[in-house]
Structure 1
Amino acid sequence: MSGYTQDQAYYGNGYQKSISETHSWRTAENSCAYMLSFIKSTDVILDVGCGPGSISCDLAKHVPNGKVVGIEPTEQLIKEANNHKYSNGVKNAEFKIASAYSLPFEDNSFDIVHCHQVLIHLEDPETAFKEMVRVLKPTGYVCSREADLRATSVYPPKYEDTIVEYFLLKTKNSSTSDNRGRSLRDLALSAGIKLRHIHSTVSTWCISNDDDRKWFSEMFIKRMKEAKEVLVKEDEEANTRKREEIIDSWNEFIDDVRGWLLFVHGEVICQKEF
């Protein structure tokens, strides 16, 4: 492994392309709608935990006279983000290897600091949030959107013990939180943001129509077959059985016209005082 993965448990198994591929469909429109009205064309935005760069490059379109800087602790993801940037002809985005726990920027450097599904995976989200506030300019905004996996729901109910369980089992055997979305106000307050400057919202992803069920299920089937995520700890045989059981459910979900999968996300926009 290269970069700063040693201080972030989420990367304990190193870079895995099958995982980053499940992040590359995310855009500013489907993942950052709650904050787009706060962006000015001249803003300089820091995207903490930019992953494969799809959101960062989309955000760059909203700041034609500014720029977006994306950071990740793994060299491989930075390469993916740069490839996305070049293939989409994005001129005003750049990507750096860095840790969310120690951002390599001076105080008061950015108009907006954004993170999406990052704090959910950190063992020490408080330190990361304080760092995001530190590098934010006075009157600027920290914007965070994090899943609340405990609120995930599915229909028909027969998929609860497989598809929903998949997302919850990962939280039991990793640093990932199952309720980070609902704790964002608490994190903001702990970072010194005044209550009057915290705006909270919620949004969802709903996977239900035929094309979405097929695309989403096949994406996670590939991830489950290729990634090294632990579902049943210290029992490889049971881990394999559970993996196969969940893959079977994903395959069934593809053709289930009743199928409906809902993810809930907590969101905060926090303004920094002078």
Structure 2
Amino acid sequence: MAALSQIIFYSMVTLILVFSALIILILALTFTKSSPRVMSSDAAPVANLGRDELLSCFLSTSSSAAALAQVSVTWERKDLSALVYKFDNGAPDLAKQAPQYKDRTQVFPGQLVSGNASLLLRSVRSGDGGVYTCTISSSGGGGTVNINLRAAAFSAPTFNVSGDALRALAGGWLPEPDVTWADAAGRPLSANTSVELSAAGTFSVASALPSVNASSTYTCSIHSRLVAAVSEATVAQDYSVSAKTEFYFGAAPSLLAPAYLNIITSVLCIYS
């Protein structure tokens, strides 16, 4: 009888633990689905100097049918005491805005009711890099998210054939980039490359790949620690060159997705 009692006791304990775990799981899933979160589609963007950059920030809720009300948005930068941007009570509130952001920042009021508080930063400067905090408060909830903006300079190279050498020229790079070449099979090739600092404070690249063949394709990669421009250059029979370039963020471009796809998608979402 004692053995049977122990079996019944331990069975009941096991059932209690199982049911407790199920209840905790159900509550966790319910809380996760119902609780709004402030998110970003790109928490580590790389902005091109002199170009506009969209810093993504939105309130993700389980219900998108109802429009939000009483939406307040504050953008800050962790190394600044002044604000980057603030929108409150249906209008911008820029009394405490840092001077370097004057006339260079905006949100899109028509998008706030759907929870989109993304910030447009115009004409990015090298001093704009840093960790930004987006804070949303609304009738549907709120929260914060951090976005680590890195400022760089990059451009697509142009190609031509001079003699029997395939030349790549690109200006306006920062940080200082490296250049590598490969053939159609991915084998590395040697090239004559110069990287020079320009008067504008950015680097210009000139690289020549000697002894190229007609009807062949070569890959030129210009890459800094933040951005890579990977170009496929095809030399035609008449030694004209056609090329396509994709930009990648990060030090290992072969492992990353094209950058401009994310930029275009974000801009379309803002203006739709």
* TM-score (norm. length: structure 1): 0.25
**Structure possessing the higher relative contact order (Cα contacts under 8 Å, 6 or more residues apart):** 1
More helix by share: 1
Structure showing greater radius of gyration is 2
More strand by share: 2
